Structure 1
Amino acid sequence: MARYHIETYGCTSNRGESREIERRLRDAGHYRVDGAEEADVAILNTCTVVEKTERNMLRRAEELADETADLFITGCMALAQGEAFDRADVDGQVLHWDEVPEAVTNGECPTTTPDAEPILDGVVGILPIARGCMSDCSYCITKQATGKIDSPSIEENVEKARALIHAGAKEIRITGQDTGVYGWDEGNRKLHRLLEEICEIDGDFRVRVGMANPKGVHGIREELAAVFAEYDELYDFLHAPVQSGSDDVLGDMRRQHQVAEYVEVVETFDDYLDYWTLSTDFIVGFPTETERDHEQSMALLRETRPEKINVTRFSKRPGTDAAELKGLGGTVKKERSKEMSAVKRDLVADAYADMVGEVREDVLVVEEGTADSVKCRDSAYRQLIVQNASDYGIAPGDFVDLEVTAHETMYAFGKPI
């Protein structure tokens, strides 16, 4: 679990995004501290109104980079003029605000709330289906807080899902340290069975499955992909963090899976689903990662072409085995991260560009955006923004048909039809 320090500059939109970043970090078990010196990570949400503001943002980024182990830079200046931070040689990662919470985790499993109870947030229901995991990753401190997997029964989780839907949830987010190993503590892999039962609940809703490590998914990949193909209620979206394209590094990370198993999971979902989103994570600059290992990760990224990618520079967590290893230099990690992030942006932008001109049916309006916009998710959980939403009379919880009219790197724009 990480200690974070966050600073926000600029407009109401930036402040709203920072609040959402903090909410997700708190839900994942991280906590805020005052001052970058006490933090594991610092987050700078930037503004770019005038030239003086830009100079201030660069100066503050340089200060924060010197004060903390890892710096994440987001906001208007980061996205519009990210190269300025590179030119200033700021040791920080430029990210879209939506990517910050997962980047902060450093590849660790998320940490659900201690009581692991459902939460209704707007039209989104958060359903933790289990606590703990079956992994023993050498870099992860979360395991020390959560322990082994503890899976409530299918019946108990279905009742919780039903209660969320009856309370108004239109999107159920299945969460846990590792959803793919749900039921392993009972000797029975049963995520696919749980999803079937939830999808049979009466109502009009969607279900998103949270992070599932490749090893857990691999053993039930056929059954799981078949459930995704059968039920429209399920977003065709899989978050399977591979972390490296090198089996040697995966071994040092104690990740349990090998690259071939990850690829087999991807190929299985390709066989069952025509249109789906693969999400994955890479840790760049693990202490034992060689240049050849990095090249293997780059090759795997290009081969599997995920549409959502979290790239994180390795950062030592106290009390973990990986913290005892001699680390790579900051410059090496920075250059490898920049190379992977550049390919990532191209892959994600290509995925959204391919959507332009197409029609997406039964798109769920999930939440309000900024300046009279709403954020929506299509069947593969890709984000569509509808501007001037009040003109169309649409609001969170509605299902709409959209024509995709344009795109940015991380999302597309849609117009109701």
Structure 2
Amino acid sequence: MYDLIIVGARCSGASLAIFLGRLGYNILLVDRATHVGPTLSTHIIGEVDVYQHLRIEKRMNSSGAPFLTRFRVNVDSHLFESDLIVTERAMSVRRELLDSYLMEEVKKLPNIKVELAINIKDVIKSNEKITGVIGIDENGNEKRYQGKVVVGADGRNSTIASLTNARIEQQSSIDELAVLYGYFSGIQPLPVGTIEWYWTKDSIAICNPIDGGKHCIAFMFHPSNFKSWCNVDEFSCKISKLNMLSPRITNLSLEGNLKGIKRINSYVKNTHGEGWVLVGDASANIHPISGVGIDNAICTSEVLAIQLDKYLRNQESWTDVMTEYKKYRDERIYPQFYASQKTQALHKTAITESQNSATSMLCTFPSLAKNLTIRSEAILQILQEDEHE
């Protein structure tokens, strides 16, 4: 009998295991993968405190990934740029590094048992409450695990969410953009670590420096073009056409393979039921255009750990702790969900020639740029009101 069975050993599951494992709970951490390696993911990490709490911040800082303190937006030939305001710094840490740091912390705790290459096929119930899971190992042997709480931290195609019939509370109402990214060498970095965002006529591109002097470059575009974009030459050609990036390309070279997904289908699901709870992408899968997937997974895991600790110590009821967890999840996730939908929809809006000319004047006439800044509060209020309509 485990205190906690966590299905999924990636960032949300491993983080939850660390937070509760340090409190002495007997935990099973199980995953279908044979080893923790690269996985499809967003790359921007903006939170600070939670990684300090996990005790992996120093390893992240020494990974070679530079601090990102600037944000640059390219709209056709126009450039908008500023210091980051939502965080003191961001980083772009590849998942093969981040997940290995988390697993190192997991292995320090003898009360956490890790079992890989286990495919969960069913849940165990007692009086309509989930009390465990049934898995199959790589040799075809059935394994039955009993636990006080079962956590689904197994990603956007969550088996636990499926087996528990977790209800979808909200899902995408638009035809979401496909995503494709790769790690590239041969690009001169900017003097200051910068997240670069490009609005183009047929795509959205995001570029940021990672470790080893490389850059992660992601394109988002209509799913019907996914197959052609998967061609490395086509992808590289798209990069070379990015304004303000192409002059910095010296000898562009893809490291590894392109990774991506054609259909995202964002959703927010109910978080819990009797004896089970979801966290990370199993709970809410938001389009990576938001760039907050890793932070969301780990921050919600920390809050879930706090609430589960209260329950396991019989301080509060299951209903009360799950209500608090869901409240935090909803307050964090829903604004991001709606914002990602609106940003993708905005991609379809073409910029006219007259709008381009007007923007050029604002960018190249110093007095207009200063007046734009002076009136920025009123302009921002108008734009926010438009978004809420």
Question: TM-score normalised by the shorter chain: which range applies?
Answer: under 0.3
**Structure with a larger share of its residues in strand:** 2
* TM-score normalised by structure 2 residue count: 0.22
Greater Rg, structure 1 or structure 2?
A: 2
* TM-score normalised by structure 1 residue count: 0.20
1 or 2 for the larger relative contact order (CA 8 Å, sep ≥6)? 2
